[in-house]
Amino acid sequence: MNKLTQAKKAIIDTDMGWDDVLSILYLMKDPNIEIIGICVTGCGETNLRWGTLLAKTLLELGHQTQACVAVGCDTPLQFNNAFPQPFKNDMNDLMGLLGTLNPDMEIPVDHRPAWTFIADMLAQNAEPISIISLGGFTNLAKLLTVHPDAKTENIKEIFAMAGAIHIDGNISTFNNAKPEWDQGATYRSNHVAEWNVFVDPLAAKQVFDSNLPLTLVPLDACYYVILNPDFSSLITATDPIAELTKNILDKKSGPHDEGIPVPIFDPLATMLMAGGLTQYQVYQAFLDVDLCNTMDNNQCGNTFITGKGSRKIDIIQGVSQRAFSEMFAKIING
């Protein structure tokens, strides 16, 4: 796929869930984006081995020879908060779709850990790099601690789907959605956190406390764009990327439905980073994260506005579902 010479260079930091895959497919189709790397974390929706294989397969499917896959953290900096393994098993093979993908080329996995890969890309590229964070913040936190001299001034922007600011989180809701997802009181009593913060709240706090140019796309914004079968009907192209996109949407809004209202999540943050949405609400605030994990009324991962910090974070508040669905279909069908 040809990219425009002025294409924005982007690194995707991801836990390779279904919505992460949709984001990668979108960016592979967007002529204004050049993916230079996918950094995988096992602290999220997939186990690290399978998430790495899935990321590699997607790049091969899209003939993204300019991009690398770098392996990141398998464990968080603190705690052991994790998605239930039955859910991760479903994501590990992309709801049964991974085995149907048969790329005609091979892209090797990079030998560097994800945080070193990011540091090297920041040092080597003359152009600023955009980062889209679609999982926990563990890899970015490791960048800050392992490579304190990394040229983070070369980061153009970081868009992250993470947190719940003014609304309820999704830990308890997800835990209670299916009996096999019940992980006990720590999860059942947490009504405040969002998963990408909850899986590694210390990493999130370290990123919030840094000077990285962060734009947060929390659940507050994501719930404006709810997944529904109509998204799939808008995909009319028949190339491999479009067909996989349609199959994922059909699976997630059909037989693999979670039984609860599910936002589109990561593709919204991705589209915002890529410039596909220009009309939205945004405000700035200092943010902090609660690091206390308890059995009752668990507040761990609670993302809240505070009175001071290293710098204010841009927070997306409201978006248009119609504008999102039209642009998503336009790029995927392009």
From first to last of its 334 residues, what are the pLDDT tens digits of the chain?
444 458 999 999 999 999 999 999 999 999 999 999 999 999 999 999 999 999 999 999 999 999 999 999 999 999 999 999 999 999 999 999 999 999 999 999 999 999 999 999 999 999 999 999 999 999 999 999 999 999 999 999 999 999 999 999 999 999 999 999 999 999 999 999 999 999 999 999 999 999 999 999 999 999 999 998 889 999 999 999 999 999 999 999 999 999 999 999 999 999 999 999 999 999 999 999 999 999 999 999 999 999 999 999 999 999 999 999 999 999 999 9
Is-above-0.95 flag for pTM? Answer: yes
Residues 6+ apart with CB under 8 A from 89: none
Asked whether the beta carbons of 196 and 161 are under 8 A apart, the reply is yes
DSSP class of 29: H
Distance CA 173, CA 264 (A): 16
Asked whether the beta carbons of 129 and 155 are under 8 A apart, the reply is yes
Q: Which domains does the chain have, with CATH numbers?
A: 8-333 (3.90.245.10)
Helices (H) and strands (E) in the chain, counts: 14, 10
Asked whether the beta carbons of 56 and 99 are under 8 A apart, the reply is no
DSSP class of 263: B
Asked whether the beta carbons of 235 and 332 are under 8 A apart, the reply is yes
Residues 6+ apart with CB under 8 A from 22: 245, 248, 249, 264, 266, 267
DSSP characters over 206-248: HHHTS---EEEE-HHHHTTSB--THHHHT----SHHHHHHHHH
